[in-house]
Amino acid sequence: MICKVLVVDDASFVRMMIRQVLIRLGHTNILEAENGFKAIKLYKANTPALTILDITMPELDGLSALKEIISFDPTAKVIMCSAVSHETIVWEALEIGAVDFVAKPFRSDELGKIITKYLGPI
């Protein structure tokens, strides 16, 4: 099944790397945002099946965006993907409602397995 996936990171090269993993898995309906405000706007307009969300971003950080997304859609599947992987941050994200956490730098095959865990094979 082709699903919408929202990729949120302030670094365009990271968005590109995640996009490549998604395309390799067969997902081509990919939305992108570079900050939390745009992520929330795109999420509310498109309700993607999966969101991959960075934590440290300008304007609005990922944890704040996650709170807003979860308050809008408590069933949202959000994977946090960040270089900030302190245990307290990871637990906070999971307590807010993230379904998983991937530390940067990530391996493409590792990210692919996690994406498939939540979206299934195409």
Between 12 and 90, name the one with better pLDDT: 12
Answer yes or no: is pLDDT of 1 > 70.
Answer: no
pLDDT at 33 over 80: yes
pLDDT in tens, 37-80: 999 999 999 999 999 999 999 999 999 999 999 999 999 999 99
pTM over 0.85: yes
| Nearest by Cα to 3 from 49, 54, 55 | 49
Closest CA to 43 of 91, 4, 80, 82: 4
Domains of the chain: 4-79+98-119 (3.40.50.2300)
In tens, the pLDDT along 86-106 reads 889 989 999 999 999 999 999
